[in-house]
Amino acid sequence: MNRRPVDYSLYLVTDRGLSRGRPTPEIVRAAVRGGVTCVQLREKTRSTREFIAEARAVRDFLKWRGVPLIINDRVDVALAVGADGVHLGQGDLPLAEARAVLGESKLIGISAESLRDAVAAESAGADYLGVSPIFATPTKTDTAAPLGIEGLRAIRRQVKLPLVAIGGLNAGNAAAVIGGGADGVAVVSAIVAADDPERAARELARHIAQARRTCA
């Protein structure tokens, strides 16, 4: 297995519906310039061909900057574009089947909405967990009740995998999430919908870096 260490500290999840008409690759480029360390490309409405074309454009930019590209849900798209991995929800392709297709060199992240989900995903061989929702969020309405910082801490005590917190996160609460045991802060609207995605990312990265120094 040949896999480089991953910096999950500022994890961008794209959402074309929040980008105010700006192309996703444009948002990604600005966010990475601002300090985003990992990108999950999420696309629910485009055709497979359109998704692949967009993923390739994003991959070509990220590759030379050492920033991993994770594809949401679509194992086929991840394979087609040579992405670094996939992120799967509880209702998506089972982890074992995804691993059989992708091999050991690719990252597989799993969404966990409870301690039970988190422990099961770790046992099944996930590489990292997307713990959600930490706080209430308008981005996704089909999620469980918010875990809060205490729910995040409970998962941290039981699970050794990297934890990427998501759900209602922004520059105002990113530090609290790192203090609660998260290895990374995942955001959608805080960057994608921002007037200046680069500046928004830079502000988030600053708060995360300060929190990590405090927790060290």
CA distance 116 to 120: 6
C-alpha count within 13 angstroms, C-beta hemisphere, residue 214: 14
Q: Does the annotation mark 111 as catalytic?
A: yes
Q: How far apart, in whole angstroms, are the C-alpha atoms of residue 119 and residue 125?
A: 10
Distance, in Å, from the CA atom of 162 to the CA atom of 9, rounded to the nearest integer, reads 10
End-to-end CA distance of the chain: 30
Point out the catalytic residue in the list 9, 19, 111, 189. Answer: 111
E runs forming strands in 26-127? 38-41, 69-72, 85-88, 107-112
The catalytic residue among 46, 63, 116, 140 is 140
Q: Which of 29, 42, 99, 106 is catalytic?
A: 42
DSSP three-state, residue 193:
coil
Q: What is the DSSP letter of 29?
A: H
User: Encoding tokens for residue 31?
Assistant: 């966010």
Question: Chain centroid to CA 44: how far?
Answer: 16
> Roughly what angle, to the nearest 10 degrees, separates helices 115-124 and 95-102?
30
Pairing status of strand 184-187 against strand 10-13: parallel
Q: Which residues are catalytic?
A: 42, 111, 140
